[in-house]
Amino acid sequence: MKNNIKIIFDVNIWVSTFISPNMEKQVQAIILQDEVEIIVCSELLEELKQTLQRSKFKKYFSSERILLAIDLVEQSSTFINLKSVVELCRDHKNDYLLALAKDAQADFLLTGDKDLLVLNPFEKTQIIKLSEYLEQGMV
C-alpha cells in the first residue's frame, strides 16, 4: 500500500484559493488526488478564520462564505492536534506550521511566506511555493 503524500497549505495559499479562480483550480487538482492527504490543525483553522475576516477581504467574503470556506477546509483535511513545540521561524507566529509539519510528518508545506521558505527543508518536510510543487509534476 502506497503512503499518502501529506501536504500542509499555509493560510496564504488557502486565502488565494478562495479569491483566485486559477489558484482554486490548482489547489483543487491537488486536493482531489487519491494519494494526497491535506493536513490542518486548530491553529491553522483559527488563523484562516481571522485572516478571512480582515477588512481588506470583506469584498470577497461574507460571514456565511467565511464559515463555508472554513468548513470546506476542515472537510477536505486530516486534523492533527499539535504536540511539538518548534521555535525556529523568524516570524514566530508561523512556528505552529513547523510543529504541524513535524507532528504530521508532512512531505510538503506549501507557502508563499519567505520566513518559511528560507527554512526549506525542515526535517523531512519540503517547504516550497505552490508553483514549485506543480512544476514537479505531482499533479
How does pLDDT run across 53-101, given as a tens digit for each residue? 999 988 887 888 888 889 989 998 999 999 999 999 998 999 999 999 9
pTM beyond 0.85: the answer is yes
| Phi-psi sector, 34: left (phi>0), alpha (psi -120 to 50), beta | alpha
Give me the CATH code for the 5-135 domain, please. Answer: 3.40.50.1010
Q: Where are the domains of the chain?
A: 5-135
Burial of 12 (0-12, 13-18, 19+ CB in 10 A): middle
52, 10 Cβ separation under 8 angstroms? no
C-alpha cell belonging to residue 113: 511566506
pLDDT tier at 1 (50, 70, 90 boundaries)? very low
Query: Residue 47: pLDDT above 80?
Result: yes
Model pLDDT, residue 48: 94
Tens digits of residue pLDDT in 94-129: 999 999 999 999 999 999 999 999 999 999 999 999
